[in-house]
Amino acid sequence: MKDKSFENIRALAAADMPGQIAVLEAAICDANRDTVRTTSHQISGRATSFGCTDISALASELERSVEKTSLSYSVDSVNRIYNLSVL
Amino acid sequence: MRKRAKRSGDGAPGPQQKYDYVKHIEHIRNKFMCSEVPMGVIFVLFHKFVAHLGAPASLPLATGICIFLREKLMHDILVVDDNSINRQLAVYLLKKGGYEVYEAESGQQAFDFLKSQTPDVILLDIQLPEMDGLEVLKRIRSNSSTKDVTVIALTAYTMRGDKEKFETAGFDGYLPKPIEPRTFARQILEIYSS
């Protein structure tokens, strides 16, 4: 599915990623696990819809691990999501 | 007219019975829930098929065409989602599927739209600002002009039991997010046709 309209919507989603990453980073700083979980869930879902499986898997892993591990480990996941999203 | 002796086992009359068109038409409409297809259309189709093929062969043929017609009758969809990207993706995929699509970003916008038009299907996000999807559904069901519209929950709530919860609330179907582009329009059609 590579038509222009779909690519435009995908570009909008990509442009929205830095904002979502910033929300994640702020939530980690505030130790707000609920926001980390819901935001990573949103990122994962959206990435799935647009076929970005690597980002989806990372965000999904972040969502699952948020209750089990220290949030300091989440920083690495967020960085990796960011790096993939800017590629 | 030559009548076939074999019983179809699907509500068709036996060899000694006189063809009862009304019974067959009602059978098609009830069993396959084709109530939106006008009775006259089913009658003409069935009559034509019976004339050429006999009743047992006519039943699946007429039924297939009725289901086809019913699917074709779903032509406009209202997408209610406050998330702009999700909404645009849903609208894009449905338009690509050949449907007339309208969009609203809140329950109130949806009600404003429903004052002037009644779509075949409403695709309703649950997590809406101000008024959530469950409350929007209640109001849709309490309005005489929209109470029978097919309303499908579109939601990221995908925990065990959520599907049953939404069906109990009165949704006709449930589509978990994320949107799967390849099957999205088809899933909606399946819920509408079921």
pLDDT tens digit string along B28-74? 656 555 555 555 666 666 667 767 776 666 667 766 666 666 555 66
Confidence band (pLDDT; 50, 70, 90) for B16?
A: very low
- Measured N-to-C along each axis, helices B55-73 and B21-31 cross at an angle, to the nearest 10 degrees, of 40
Tell me whether residues B88 and A45 touch, CB distance under 8 A.
Answer: no
Composition of chain B by helix, strand, coil, percent to 5:
50, 15, 40
Q: Are strands B173-176 and B150-155 parallel, antiparallel or unpaired?
A: parallel
pLDDT tens per residue across span B133-159? 999 999 999 999 999 999 999 987 666
Tell me whether residues B181 and A5 touch, CB distance under 8 A.
Answer: no
Q: Specify whether domain B74-193 bears CATH 3.40.50.2300.
A: yes
Q: Which chain B positions have a beta carbon within 8 Å of A5's beta carbon?
A: 92
ipTM for the predicted complex comes to 0.73
Domain around A60: 4-85
Q: How far apart are CA A8 and CA A14, in angstroms?
A: 10
**Min Cα separation B94/chain A (Å):** 12
Residue of chain B whose alpha carbon sits nearest to that of A13: B85
Residue of chain B whose alpha carbon sits nearest to that of A11: B85
Q: How far apart are CA B122 and CA B153, in angstroms?
A: 9
Query: Does A60 contact chain B (CB < 8 Å)?
Result: no
What is the number of structural domains in chain A? 1
Query: Does B86 contact chain A (CB < 8 Å)?
Result: yes
Q: How far apart are CA B90 and CA B101, in angstroms?
A: 9
Counting Cβ atoms within 10 Å, is residue A65 exposed (0-12), middle (13-18) or buried (19+)?
A: middle
- Domains of chain B, residue spans: 21-72, 74-193
Mean pLDDT within B78-92: 92
* Phi/psi at B121 (5° precision): -135, 140
Give the number of A-B residue pairs with CB atoms closer than 8 Å: 33
Calculate what percentage of chain B has a pLDDT beyond 70.
61
Indicate the residue of B92, B156, B181 with minimum beta-carbon distance to A45: B156
Tell me whether residues B89 and A9 touch, CB distance under 8 A.
Answer: yes
Query: Does A45 contact chain B (CB < 8 Å)?
Result: yes
Q: Count CA atoms closer than 13 A to B52's CA, side-chain side.
A: 9
Q: How far apart are CA A9 and CA B87, in angstroms?
A: 10
In Å, how far are A61, A70, A78 from A58, measured between CA atoms?
5, 16, 8
Tell me whether residues A49 and B181 touch, CB distance under 8 A.
Answer: yes
The least confident of A39-53, B7-21, B26-40 is B7-21
Number of CB atoms found within 10 A of residue B146's CB: 20
